[in-house]
Amino acid sequence: MKQTPRMLSARVKTLGAILVVACAGLLVAGSVTFWLQRERIIDDVDQRLQEKVAALRAVDGSANATEYFGEVVTGYLSALNEGVVGVVDGVPTVVPDARNAFDIVESPEVVAAALRATRNDRMAIGTVETEQGDVRFIALPIHIPGDDTDGLYLRGVGLDVEMAPLGSSIATFAVAGTLVMLALGLVSWFLTGRLLSPLRQLREAADAVTFDDLGTRVPEAGDHEIADLSRTMNSMLDRLESSVSSQRQLLDDIRHELKTPITIVRGHLEMMDVNDPDDVCSTRDMGISELDRLARLVDDIDLLSSAQGDQFEMRPIDIGMLTERIGELVSAISGHPFTVSKRARGVMVGDIDRLTQAWLQLADNAAKYTPEGSPIEVGSELVDGEARLWVRDHGAGIPPAARRRIFQRFARVDANRDIGGSGLGLAIVEAIAQAHVGSVDVTDTPGGGATFTIRIPTGQNPASVVPTPVSAGDVVLQREAST
């Protein structure tokens, strides 16, 4: 199998991008600085040359150009990087008595460039490249009245010497820039490693997570976005582990619940006397009864699954009207006198069908597990921004040690299987309450019995449910206010 070539890591790519940007910034900064400094040096040279020309005396009193140059050129004191020459009819004729130490100004290249620059008989400043380096010159045409010769005062400065300090600065900048790039590379390598470490840990955690092992978590140190990603990843793994654990527990519970009816049906079928019609009919009735119980179990599992996974239709609900409706529905449950003992006045947000289902389930459980004929009350109240929907019976009550266990799937306080039901009713009620960001609990009824209460925060609109847009007059079960 051909192996896909490994691409550069994110750390290397990030470091490369940082260094490229930094290098480009240094190059731009260095180039701009070099150009500005060079222009400043050239401006200084030009100003110096112009000051020298401005100091020349007037041509009055000179017989010709050669005589004039003899007066203004021959007395020039030689300088290492500057020279002057008088050009007559295109030929360097007059030089300083001490000679020009910077004799490049007398070269044919400089003279020719100066003559070209002054064709319009105006002073000109320019730069000419020679074998000995660049020369910045100023050329001033000289015309003596009555003299037919063309004179040219030419003064030049070597730019290479003037630019030497700038070259040293650029070299220093290059060395400093290189050191800065090296330091930046080391620091960036360390910082990108620290920054990308959570991503590496995320990848390692994702590789380590399997269906059989969902306990891997990512360190959450830090307050940056990647740390937030780690916390989100851990939260997702927590939910996934909880979901998988719940599914596994459900499968174990279902397997346990199915064993008994299957064993009963199989045992009766094996022991049945096929020649005895009464025995066959009895076994048939028993099998149908067990199959009916299995069908109810499947229906309850389906209800539990939908309560845990469905998106609820959330609407404002008039709590008092919902209480009256529950009172009407529970009156159909035989064997007990049901009464509505208290009605809350207010509105909460919820799925009315699911809440009705949960409330009726509590009433049905109370009817099953309390002595026949004992009274059962239902009611609602608003306390501290919380809607409480309760069912109160007067039976044997729930032992404190069993009050958490009874909300587990297939759990029963009484192991007697003669009482109908799958053992999923309270688990369904709790799932509906939790979907409304609420809870369900059980407490003692004064005088004996148990009180089951669904607690729903009013005005909640959980992100896990789909809110249905409603207007101010769309409150479910709300009746017109009486005067």
pLDDT tens-digit series, residues 274-321: 888 888 888 888 888 878 777 777 776 766 666 665 567 888 999 999
Contact 406, 442 (CB under 8 A): yes
Per-residue confidence band for 464, with pLDDT thresholds at 50, 70 and 90: very low
pLDDT at 476 over 60: no
pTM given for the model = 0.48
According to the model, what pLDDT value does residue 381 have?
93
pLDDT confidence of residue 407? 75
Bridge partners for 476 per DSSP: 317
What pLDDT score does 135 carry? 93
Please give the share of the chain, as a percent, with pLDDT higher than 70. 84
- Domain 312-467 carries which CATH code? 3.30.565.10
Q: Reply yes or no on whether the pLDDT at 474 is more than 70.
A: no
- pLDDT at residue 67 in the model: 87
> Which of 84-88, 162-166, 263-267 is predicted least confidently?
263-267
Strands laid side by side in the 313-318 sheet: 347-350, 313-318, 466-467
- As a whole number, mean pLDDT of residues 230-237 equals 80
* Per-residue tokens: 101: 């130490």
pLDDT digits 0-9 by tens, 445-456: 888 889 999 999
Alpha-carbon gap, residue 159 to 195, rounded angstroms: 50
Percent pLDDT > 90 in the chain is 28
Fold of 11-166: Beta-Lactamase (3.30.450)
